[in-house]
């Protein structure tokens, strides 16, 4: 199973969501934001090296605490040397080795995002309860539909469950997906600052159940996809 975490607008929490879904799914998180990576940089070769053909994908994967990651480089020269066209084969190679992959997509709707969405079996959209962020999420949903990548879930991040329930319900109806609210909690920001999943930093935080429910939804959606392919 390959999951792309996207959403259009920057600063909505895609990297935080990717990091925590990696923990919940026991998946390899691929930091595919080639120019503004926002996950741990790692200690060895990175995605820039892999996409430039200098390193095999499996040799760039490492563990950062309880999460397994294929990190991305931080240099402009590394980004320029990267051939994003190689990304589909990279994530497929990681999937064959580890079984589950979560791809942290860059912000916006640039060509890279299309390649990453098309490389995935399923997508998770991440947004905030603001007009600009919601518009970008809907645009990303349109792109995923064009690429025939099913959107399995929408995460309404940095929200308040009671205050934003109506927004979540309306977005879910319009997109035809289940929406999970991740409340704005200091525990989430503190955990991310330490590169620790929320489950391991503050196990009683509301976000733990939220990320777990998204992971369960992804597993069910993946099972349905497998069943559909087996009957075709």
pLDDT at 227: 66
Closest CA to 148 of 120, 167, 188: 120
Q: Indicate the pTM of the whole model.
A: 0.93
Residue matched to tokens 């099913």 = 150
pLDDT at 228: 60
Measured between alpha carbons, how far is residue 130 from residues 82, 127, 202 in Å? 34, 8, 27
- In the chain the domains, ranked by start, together with CATH numbers, are 2-231 (3.40.50.300)
Concatenating the DSSP letter of every residue in 123-176 gives EEEEE-SSHHHHHHHHHHHHHHHHTT--EEEEEEEEE-TTTTHHHHHHHHHHHT
pLDDT at 110: 67
Task: Going from the first residue of the chain to its last (232 residues), give the mean pLDDT of each consecutive group of 10, the final group possibly shorter.
Answer: 90 94 98 90 94 96 97 92 94 97 86 87 95 92 94 94 91 94 94 95 96 96 74 54
**Residue 156: phi, psi to the nearest 5?**
-95, 100
Contact 101, 88 (CB under 8 A): no
pLDDT at 225: 80
Contact 97, 232 (CB under 8 A): no
Residues 6+ apart with CB under 8 A from 161: 181, 183, 206
């Amino acid at each position: 199973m390959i999951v792309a975490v996207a959403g259009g607008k920057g600063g909505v929490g895609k990297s935080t969501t990717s990091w925590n879904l990696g923990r919940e799914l026991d998946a390899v998180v691929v930091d595919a934001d080639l120019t503004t990576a926002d996950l741990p940089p790692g200690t060895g070769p990175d995605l820039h090296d892999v996409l430039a053909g200098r390193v095999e994908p499996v040799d760039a994967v490492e563990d950062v605490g309880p999460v397994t990651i294929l990190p991305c480089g931080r240099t402009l020269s590394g980004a320029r040397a990267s051939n994003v066209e190689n990304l589909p084969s990279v994530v497929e190679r990681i999937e064959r080795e580890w079984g589950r992959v979560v791809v942290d997509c860059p912000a916006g709707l640039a060509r890279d995002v299309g390649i990453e969405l098309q490389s995935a079996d399923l997508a998770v959209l991440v947004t905030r309860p603001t007009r600009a962020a919601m518009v970008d999420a809907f645009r990303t949903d349109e792109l995923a539909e064009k690429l025939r990548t099913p959107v399995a879930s929408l995460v309404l991040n940095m929200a308040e469950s009671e205050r934003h329930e109506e927004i979540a319900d309306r977005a879910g109806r319009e997109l035809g997906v289940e929406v999970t609210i991740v409340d704005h909690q200091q525990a989430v920001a503190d955990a991310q600052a330490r590169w620790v999943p929320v489950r391991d930093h503050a196990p009683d935080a509301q976000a733990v159940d939220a990320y777990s429910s998204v992971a369960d939804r992804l597993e069910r959606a993946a099972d349905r996809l497998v069943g559909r392919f087996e009957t075709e």
